[in-house]
Chain A
Amino acid sequence: MLGDIEAAEDAIQDAYLVALERWPREGHPKHASAWILTTARHRAIDKLRRERRGREKAERLAALEFGAPPRDPFAEDREMNVIPDDRLGLMFACCHPGLGVEARIALTLRTLGGLSTEEIAEAFLVPSATIAQRLVRVKRKIRDAAIPLDVPAPERLPERLADVCSVLYLIFNEGYLASAGDSLVRRDLCDEAIRLTRVLAHLMPQEPEVMGLLALMLYHHSRRDARSDSDGRLIPLAEQDRKLWDDTAIAEASAFMERAARHQFEGPYQLQAAIAAEHARARELGRVDWERIAELYARLAAIAPSPIVDLNRAVALGFAYGPLLGLAALDAIDARALETYHPAYVARADFLRRLGREAEARDAYAAALALTQNARERAFLEAKMLEAGASVTPRDDERDSR
């Protein structure tokens, strides 16, 4: 039975390949899913004939009629047994640097994730016509510019793999930033990103950064049930009910981190995962090791410099060594780089509150509010601002840091 489904999966994958190549050229068939199924059936029949494994195989052809839908609860187990090469080449094609980033995301979700155009549109809060158009254009470029559907040459592999990882992480983040009130499809993006990264980790088992990315996603994902309250309001890490964290996901993430560490190559995803691991570890420690987190951010800044990494390091320093030092580290960052990044103002406000400088803190919260449209985040900031106005003693606040 499993064999039948595997054959079906292979065939459907093949059909997508053909579609990717042919549809932009010949136009979309009217009944796309029927087309895929028909093509898949033909492909499977060809394949089985080629294999010439006798008459019993013919029975499998019948099973194709009831072939698995692209996404079902057992898909993950099977994913690992499907012919790997095609999907890997497709992944690299979908995430090719010659394509626009938004197009890469849409194409990856459509081609490898099996999401419909409508689902992708819903997930990214854009009209489905926009996604449809984006997909048409990107497939046309793949065809016209002859973007290969192959794994890149070894000398280009590191940078191309980083491109694939970045698309998968963007998909994950899109889902992660969605909260309880948002559509299910939006939140499902996390599962989809994890699933695809798992496939990538399976197909490229020698790549520590892929394992690091998978661990990073799993750590974040382990907190999904603790991240917002019943009204969908965001709960900061320090205030989350840690009993709600998903132990299985954390254990799996740790296992991937250990495997990655054996390769002795430290990359940005592993470092970010190590930071996320520290928060998970805080449960056993009873405190967050902010000194270690600040150090990890410093290492991250050394290999992947970014003002946002510097900001996070400042926050960690503030918790580790006090708000005065955190504020100094924040002031050391080029102000222009974070001018429109509201978390920078939130961090500043928190430092100021802890230093008892409430009026300045309120100004910083106001600046943050002016920069965010997200309703839940606004509600969170407004509450914080009220607290700052209601003369909360800085001592009470320090609780967050331990």
Chain B
Amino acid sequence: MKYMLLIYTPHDSRPTTPQERAATMPAWEAYGAELRRRKAYIDAAPLAETTSATTVRAHDGKRTVTDGPFAETKEWLGGYYIIDCASLDAAIEAAAMCPAAKYGSIEVRPLVEM
């Protein structure tokens, strides 16, 4: 069973300086290593800030392109992991270990097998 972990974090929680970023790296690396050790890791990526986001619609043949994310919220989607787990319980365990779970929230969504 594949799940996507969508990592939502508060706007002000992302490290701003290279030093700050470097300080958070070991935790993320350890997390990735643990997922691999559990043979759960499939894919992951951080997302650039929402200030770089562009929202596109093509409703009724009319294309609209707007600046910014689809919805302004307190927390924003900062990255994702795709993992393979035996059950939701295992996915919850994996989500709870994520460094961002300490200050943000992790949405666990099963992938639909096509």
Contacts and interface: CB of A to CB of B under 8 A. Distances in A.
Contact of A98 (B1, B85, B92): B92
Contacts of B92: 98
Interface in A141-179: 144-148, 150, 152-153, 156
Interface string B76-109: 0000000001111101110000000000000010
A148 B86 CA distance: 9
B87 A148 contact: yes
Contacts of B87: 146-148, 150
B6 to A, nearest CB: 14
A148 B89 contact: yes
A155 to B, nearest CB: 9
A98 B88 CA distance: 9
A378 B28 CA distance: 58
Nearest to A142: B88
Contacts of A146: 1, 85-88, 91, 110
Interface in B4-37: none
Contacts of A152: 89
Q: Secondary structure at chain A's binding surface: helix, strand, loop or mixed?
A: loop
Nearest to B108: A145
Interface residues of B, number: 11
Size bin of chain A's contact surface = 10 to 19
Contacts of A147: 87-89
Contacts of A150: 87, 89
A96 B91 CA distance: 14
B89 A144 contact: no
A98 B87 CA distance: 12
A147 B87 CA distance: 6
B110 A145 contact: yes
Contacts of B85: 146
Interface string A323-353: 0000000000000000000000000000000
A147 B3 CA distance: 12
Nearest to A156: B89
A391 to B, nearest CB: 56
A145 B2 CA distance: 9
A146 B92 CA distance: 11
Q: Which of B89, B91, B93, B110 has its CB near the most chain A CB atoms (within 10 A)?
A: B89
A145 B92 CA distance: 11
A145 B109 CA distance: 7
Contacts of A148: 86-89
A67 B92 CA distance: 40
A141 to B, nearest CB: 9
Nearest to A149: B87
A156 B87 CA distance: 14
Given A147-B88, A148-B89, 15 more contacts: A98-B92, A145-B88, A145-B108, A145-B110, A146-B85, A146-B86, A146-B87, A146-B91, A147-B87, A148-B87, A148-B88, A150-B89, A152-B89, A153-B89, A153-B93
Interface of B: 1, 85-89, 91-93, 108, 110
18 contacts: A96-B88, A98-B88, A98-B92, A144-B110, A145-B88, A146-B1, A146-B85, A146-B87, A146-B88, A147-B87, A147-B89, A148-B86, A148-B87, A148-B89, A150-B89, A152-B89, A153-B89, A153-B93
